[in-house]
Structure 1
Amino acid sequence: MADRKDDTAIKKVCVIGAGTMGAGIAAQVANAGVPVLLLDIVPKDGDNRNAIAEGAVAKMLKADPAPFMGKRPARLVETGNIEDHLDKVAECDWIVEAVIERLDIKQGLYAKLEEVRTPGTAVSSNTSTIPLEKLTEGRSDAFKRDFLITHFFNPPRYMRLIEIVAGAGSDGATVDRVVDFVDRRMGKSVVMAEDSPGFIANRIGTFWIQQAVNSAFDMGLTVEEADEIGGRPMGVPKTGIFGLIDLIGIDLMPHLMESLTSTLPPDDPYQAIARSEKLIEQMIDEGYTGRKGKGGFYAMHKGEDGKRTKMAKPLDGGEYRTAARPGLVRGPAAKGDLRALIETEGKVGEYAWAILGPTLSYAASIVPEATATIVGVDDAMKLGYNWKFGPFEMIDTIGPAHLRERMKQDGIPVPPLLETVGDKSFYRVENGQRQYLTTDGEYRDIERPEGVLLLEDIKRTRDPIVANGSAALWDVGDGVACLEFTGKMNALDEQVMKLIGKAIPVVRSDFKALVVYNEGSNFSAGANLGLAMFAVNIAAWSEVEKLVKAGQDAYKALKYAPFPVVAAPAGLALGGGCEIALNANAVQAHAETYIGLVECGVGLVPGWGGCGEMLDRWRSNPRQPGGPMPTVSKVFETVSTATVAKSASEAKELGFLRPTDGITMNRDRLLHDAKERALSMVEGYEPPEKPEFRLPGETGAAALMLAVDSFRKQGKATPHDETVAKELAGVLTGGDTDMTETVTEAQMLKLEREAFMRLVRNDKTQARVEHMLETGKPLRN
């Protein structure tokens, strides 16, 4: 073996096991810009000894949702097999084992790794069930020192949680190196778990699902009733219980049950509720395994008219029937009031309590066995199962004392932590600092890792500088202000534009820079179309044009402010949300930013400067051929098709982000990184010069429309698509101009406004907007 590593950086990773999880982990390493070696066994048939690993990469390149954030990361994956290429692990700084969940196979692989790896190289298992102590049996102390468990959640690109388990003999520096890498480079939120069966999220999650399924069968509920009661009112994703089982695969349930029952002690509460249902066994046998199979508890039926109808499986074993919307949960219970939910009379309250009572008791019972703090439990469930609230946050909502008394009344075990809390709460805010209750009954501050800055923490310590119903301005420290959108889906309206107008002089006077950022699920879904349609319906055209002009003025005021403006989008940044990023002086985007100018999809054109900004980006792109027509054609293709980048990396390829714009992998680090980017621009900052364009004019527009006409004749574009495309082509080619004339930014904005107003008056555009508001889907008219 080579000498022990003394370099702490992880520069290359090896993943062994090219199944769904292993390949997904390799893809996320590549997404981080780090080379990765992906190995698997040699297939029994065929001449290609690397076929399994190569096939996994090829499959991921076609998958949707995509494991890769673009085509470039895939080039960082080197494939091979463990017979011919295992010696290459000596080049790697971290080896991730993601093979089948069999102890003998894992241990056999570790014996081989010990012979070829460089000492000091981190080795981890992606196991979700096998204790670390068993995995390292028979290995040397040196191997044990470098070994840990890194339990990713599927799919690795999109699920933020990683549970990490360090053994008693694990080297702290090695663990820290892996923790830092998966946090900063892979974008994961780390929860440290103890070496106990199922760790945290899957242990609680499996108990929760089992309890919910058992109770639904016992109470004679329909799957729709169970999912309505046990879904959104509890802060659970809209799939609910049975929809979630369909998503992860019904056939996975028996394996989870077998895994936990075989590893948990006999007196663990899960052992008492673990049971199978004949209906579920029958569905698995017949291939009804959920979304990946012929259907599950839900299935889509396509009628003779081509329409698809959602069907539901009765739990008594009958035939599929049309899924119903029960409408059982109303009032405060429907809005997340858990106490109101469990106290609702009838089956709503009975079923809610049948789930929450035992589940919250179980969650409280595994601290500190599964993880040291209640924060670890709550983070694991929010990140791993997408719960809105963690179990202890739920307990605080219900009231710990009230919950404890009801548990005693109904014979549900009351864990020690629920006795420890007494009449207090598990969380509190003290001097603006959120604190949690420890197992010894004391409160401690929730400490953020270095480089994590959250607006939710700032809001506990101060009031906004200025605010209205749609936006707010905050002081985030070090002379940087933060503009936050606060409306539904962070939609943009006249109030946002007014707030921008108030913010600019405040920042100019009292701050060095501005960051545009929020902590909603989405940066902004674009303009508030509902308000716009209200004005359209009463023919208040001047009000519509006033809103378009206000947006243009506000965005350009940000662009040319005497201080740097950095946009920090995450999630959806569509339409006007994309345009504010386009007008910012720099962008620090979360890796999972889905950005695009989608106005053509609702029969409009970008109206807040997006056309000019895209032209300006593409003409300065070194990959773009010279001359105005290639630039115009590229922007026309992207905008007319309402193309949305599926990652920040792809957004650079599409021109929504500059090559110099930054990407942050970890969502919790986005505000900090954007703030640092803004501060780095302060010294000597000068606003950008206003661009001028030389555009091809009417001849260029005619050339663009030839392609659109061809698409229409092929049935790929509708007549109204052609109308919208003609307006867009007119804007992008400069209107009534030619190559000898200069088109200013102000003229581009005027062209945008005029095209927008012509389209918004069109009945077919209005139909598209109304259809989008009603259904959330585009109308092809």
Structure 2
Amino acid sequence: MSEASPNDPIRKVCVIGAGTMGAGIAAQVANAGVPVLLLDIVRDPANRNAVAQGALDRLAKAEPAAFMSKRAAKLVEVGNIEDDLPRVAECDWVIEAIVERLDLKHALYEKLEGVRRPGTAVSSNTSTIPLEQLIAGRGEGFARDFLITHFFNPPRYMRLLEVVAGPASDAALVAKVSDFADRALGKTVVRAKDTPGFLANRVGTFWIQQAINAAIDLGLSVEEADAVVGKPMGVPKTGVFGLVDLVGIDLMPHLKASLTATLPEDDAYRAIAIDHPLIMKMIADGYTGRKGKGGFYRLNREAGKRKEAIDLATGEYRAAAKPPSLPGAVFKDLKALVGLPGKLGAYAWAVLAPTLSYAASLVPSASDDIVAIDVAMKLGYNWKSGPFELIDKLGTAAFAERLKAEGKPVPAIVELAAGRPFYRVEAGKRQALGLDGEYHDVARAAGVVLLEDIKLAAKPLLKTASAALWDVGDGVAALEFTGKMNALDAEVMKLIGQAIPLVAEKFKGLVIYNEGSHFSAGANLGLALFAMNIAAWGEIEKLVAGGQQAMKALKYAPFPVVGAPSGMALGGGCEVLLHCDAIQAHAESYIGLVECGVGLVPGWGGNGELLDRWRHNPALPKGPMPAVAKVFETVSTATVSKSAAQAIELGFLRPTDQVTMNRDRLLADAKARVLALAEGYQPPEPPVFRLPGAGGKAALDMAVQGFRARGMATPHDEVVSGALARILTGGDADLIDTVTEDELLAAERREFTSLVRNPATQARIEHMLKTGKPLRN
């Protein structure tokens, strides 16, 4: 059997253990375009692969989706450990994700040792068993190739990967696995020491337990506790009780048992690890959270789906109360939160002080690097700020003084700070305090370029109220949207107009990119509704025309323009991308023309650009109608891709557009794409369309009428679809041989401005702004 080399690429992966985590890891490897062998035990001798096949079947139906495309799902092959274990010799990385029992892992590793190729990476997804114990009894070669790779659930969406190497682990092999996880799987790799719970779960489990304990001790309701621990602390809006409901209340005793089995006797977690009678009774009665009959919150179906919350004192359910109204200052100033009078402020400090102290106490035992702990909590638990960043918000001196005043120990790293912040910006570089008491630059992974770093050392080339233009190096400029939800308005269009001549004069090309949660939620509907309410129809027409002009300016600029979306790119945000020469999309890009959902049609050229993509798609029959029908179906139903891969299937991205798996590498990849296109760049030729005319419109109208008859379309859907059909088919004329781009844009403006005046459309927009949900009128 030939030996694998650390220099060999990872071409195939084996995942052993088809539970929730193992199956999810297999799906993400497949999302990266890499074949996966998924193995599990034999339960049914008549159907020996039933366990793994059942997991694959569940993955195909999972919500949120585990697979980014149907093509990815085909890359997973199932098998079983008894028959197919020798096939690990085909694989370059074997990931063990079986139950957390050391005896079963040891038995599996003994078998693996005899069938894998030497030099093939073997890793465990454990978060509770030390690496030293895992490799006990194994040979030198196995120990050399072994590491821990701790994924977070769900593996597709959670960006954190904790990597633990042992003293005997081959550094080159660890680097190869880490690089694959980074670039192919999209993970931010954090190196952790071989300590119980590693980093995120070590801090996160303590935080959850402390938050529950303090809420019970101080007599808070679950609604009060979640209001304090949620948004004001930069924690997801679920708060702590909502989070436990989400992940499963029954996991708490398992986490406690696994941690206390390996933690040092003097670890602070042991003092707070309480099995509350209320929680144990909830688990026994099947109230394990969202996956059970309910949890700390539940929907009482017998009472008309009334939302209820449990009373922490009595254990009885009651109608859920409205969360307490907190002063606005607490959402901006953590000091204001812990300074609130009464039990809410006391609770905030009772959670923060022990949790932040505990995190700080893990330096250097669990990590030599404060940055690693902060990154782990931000990516593993979706905190906006890590523990040391939170201490900075409180002030290191004030934090230490209050701990001393209360007779609590001050962690050594906080003493070392001596009133200085853990983070600072010096000479345009973000720096973190090290164990030597000195500041050191926060290092990025090789090849990572972030706009947030560029902003520390530079000022924008251009700026308006809703957008900015930056020099991101190598002769490339970046256009950033900056408004709420990165919505598009006249200020964005103004900056596009200013940017084109500047980029043409001084740069090789342009990237459209930002580091918000979403690329763009589309046009600013609030401004549009305001204009409607005062009947400022001329302003709306100017916005539509100005948007079309800006999109054309991007499309026909004398330099390449590359769109680099991540998150939602909806409506106008999608139209921006459709006018780019190329797109470098983050894998988690959700793209769609959703205007019909608010009673409108795309008005900034999106119809023609999507039509142009589909009429050149070899998968469709030739002729004017197939492409028109495809675009009509996609746009009229406000279809949004669930990934960048699916956006290619829907035509929002071209087959030649590219996907970046790691969000942090998106800007660098987009820059490289601009530079590759810049050599000898020529703007595209304006398209000329051949549309199906009256016959095509009649066919689309009949389809909508059929949906209406089946209750799948509302009366106003029919009106909006009719407007869309007129744009895409050319209206009431016979078969149309030539329709120019400008003529199609004129049709868009005409239909858009007509719909804006319709009260049913205005009702849809108002409802969307109030509720975030479409109105079915």
TM class by shorter-chain length? over 0.9
Corresponding position of 2:235: 236
Tell me if structure 1 keeps the 8 A contact 2:614–2:651: yes
The structural deviation recorded for 1:702 is: 0.7
Corresponding position of 2:737: 741
The structural deviation recorded for 1:685 is: 0.2
**1:221 partner SS:** coil
Alignment of 1:53-64 (within 5 A): 53-64=52-63
Corresponding position of 1:603: 599
The structural deviation recorded for 1:318 is: 4.4
Q: 1:385-405 CA deviation, whole Å, 9 max, x = no partner? A: 000000000111110011001
**1:123 partner SS:** strand
Corresponding position of 2:117: 118
Counterpart AA for 2:134: L
The structural deviation recorded for 1:46 is: 5.3
Matched, 1:723 2:719: yes
Tell me if structure 2 keeps the 8 A contact 1:545–1:753: yes
Tell me if structure 2 keeps the 8 A contact 1:695–1:737: no
Counterpart AA for 2:521: A
The structural deviation recorded for 1:735 is: 2.0
The structural deviation recorded for 1:241 is: 0.6
Q: 1:225-268 CA deviation, whole Å, 9 max, x = no partner? A: 00001110000000001000000001111111111111101100
Corresponding position of 1:68: 67
2:352 paired residue among 352, 356, 359: 356
Q: 1:674-709 CA deviation, whole Å, 9 max, x = no partner? A: 000001000110000000100011210110111111
Tell me if structure 2 keeps the 8 A contact 1:735–1:751: no
Matched, 1:319 2:316: yes
Corresponding position of 1:776: 772
Tell me if structure 1 keeps the 8 A contact 2:478–2:512: yes
Q: 1:707-748 CA deviation, whole Å, 9 max, x = no partner? A: 111111111111111111111111111224433430000011
Report the Cα distance in structure 1 between the residues aligned to 2:313 and 2:6, rounded to whole angstroms: 62
Corresponding position of 1:28: 28
Tell me if structure 1 keeps the 8 A contact 2:591–2:641: yes
The structural deviation recorded for 1:303 is: 6.8
Percentage identity across paired residues of the two chains: 67
The structural deviation recorded for 1:47 is: 1.1
Corresponding position of 1:419: 415
The structural deviation recorded for 1:451 is: 1.5
Alignment of 1:282-297 (within 5 A): 282-297=281-296
**2:737 partner SS:** coil
1:309 paired residue among 290, 306, 310: 306
Note closer, same or farther for the CA distance 1:430–1:459 as it changes in structure 2 (3 Å cut).
same
Q: Which runs of 5+ in 2 are unaligned?
A: none
Counterpart AA for 2:609: E
Corresponding position of 2:261: 262
**1:56 partner SS:** helix
Tell me if structure 1 keeps the 8 A contact 2:584–2:666: yes
Tell me if structure 2 keeps the 8 A contact 1:501–1:554: yes
Tell me if structure 2 keeps the 8 A contact 1:122–1:174: yes
Corresponding position of 2:429: 433
Corresponding position of 1:402: 398
Note closer, same or farther for the CA distance 1:678–1:738 as it changes in structure 2 (3 Å cut).
farther
The structural deviation recorded for 1:76 is: 0.6
**2:468 partner SS:** strand
Corresponding position of 2:458: 462
Report the Cα distance in structure 2 between the residues aligned to 1:481 and 1:39, rounded to whole angstroms: 48
Please give the TM-score of this superposition, normalised by the length of structure 1: 0.98
Counterpart AA for 2:31: N
The structural deviation recorded for 1:328 is: 3.9
Please give the TM-score of this superposition, normalised by the length of structure 2: 0.99
**2:163 partner SS:** strand
Corresponding position of 1:49: 48
Tell me if structure 2 keeps the 8 A contact 1:604–1:765: yes
1:385 paired residue among 378, 381, 406: 381
Corresponding position of 1:690: 686
Counterpart AA for 1:16: I
Report the Cα distance in structure 2 between the residues aligned to 1:116 and 1:642, rounded to whole angstroms: 51
Corresponding position of 1:614: 610
**1:26 partner SS:** helix
Corresponding position of 2:182: 183
Aligned length: 777
Report the Cα distance in structure 1 between the residues aligned to 2:246 and 2:45, rounded to whole angstroms: 33
Alignment of 1:380-779 (within 5 A): 380-779=376-775
Matched, 1:10 2:10: yes
Counterpart AA for 2:264: P
Tell me if structure 1 keeps the 8 A contact 2:278–2:315: no
Counterpart AA for 1:505: P
Deviates further, 583-592 or 411-420? 411-420
**2:25 partner SS:** helix
Q: 1:66-115 CA deviation, whole Å, 9 max, x = no partner? A: 11001100111111001000010001000000000000000110000000
The structural deviation recorded for 1:322 is: 2.1
Corresponding position of 2:328: 331
Corresponding position of 2:38: 38
Tell me if structure 2 keeps the 8 A contact 1:328–1:348: no
Tell me if structure 2 keeps the 8 A contact 1:89–1:117: yes
Tell me if structure 1 keeps the 8 A contact 2:6–2:176: no
Tell me if structure 2 keeps the 8 A contact 1:329–1:348: no
Deviates further, 1-10 or 700-709? 1-10
Counterpart AA for 1:461: A
Q: 1:263-317 CA deviation, whole Å, 9 max, x = no partner? A: 101100000000011111111111111111111111123477x6x4322111123
Alignment of 1:147-186 (within 5 A): 147-186=146-185
Report the Cα distance in structure 2 between the residues aligned to 1:301 and 1:369, rounded to whole angstroms: 46
Report the Cα distance in structure 2 between the residues aligned to 1:184 and 1:604, rounded to whole angstroms: 39
Corresponding position of 1:210: 209
Corresponding position of 2:126: 127
The structural deviation recorded for 1:668 is: 0.1
Tell me if structure 1 keeps the 8 A contact 2:6–2:172: no
Q: 1:190-225 CA deviation, whole Å, 9 max, x = no partner? A: 000000000000000000000000000011110000
Report the Cα distance in structure 2 between the residues aligned to 1:144 and 1:300, rounded to whole angstroms: 50
Counterpart AA for 1:48: N
Report the Cα distance in structure 2 between the residues aligned to 1:186 and 1:445, rounded to whole angstroms: 26
The structural deviation recorded for 1:455 is: 0.2
1:366 paired residue among 362, 366, 378: 362
Tell me if structure 2 keeps the 8 A contact 1:573–1:595: yes
Tell me if structure 2 keeps the 8 A contact 1:232–1:336: no
Counterpart AA for 2:42: V
**2:340 partner SS:** coil
**2:183 partner SS:** helix
Report the Cα distance in structure 1 between the residues aligned to 2:665 and 2:335, rounded to whole angstroms: 34
The structural deviation recorded for 1:523 is: 0.2
Counterpart AA for 1:147: F
Report the Cα distance in structure 2 between the residues aligned to 1:629 and 1:661, rounded to whole angstroms: 25
The structural deviation recorded for 1:336 is: 3.2
**1:659 partner SS:** coil
Tell me if structure 1 keeps the 8 A contact 2:730–2:736: no
**2:243 partner SS:** helix
Counterpart AA for 2:354: P
The structural deviation recorded for 1:7 is: 4.4
**2:149 partner SS:** strand
Corresponding position of 1:106: 105
Counterpart AA for 1:136: I
**2:63 partner SS:** coil
Tell me if structure 2 keeps the 8 A contact 1:361–1:412: no
Report the Cα distance in structure 2 between the residues aligned to 1:447 and 1:247, rounded to whole angstroms: 34
**2:761 partner SS:** helix
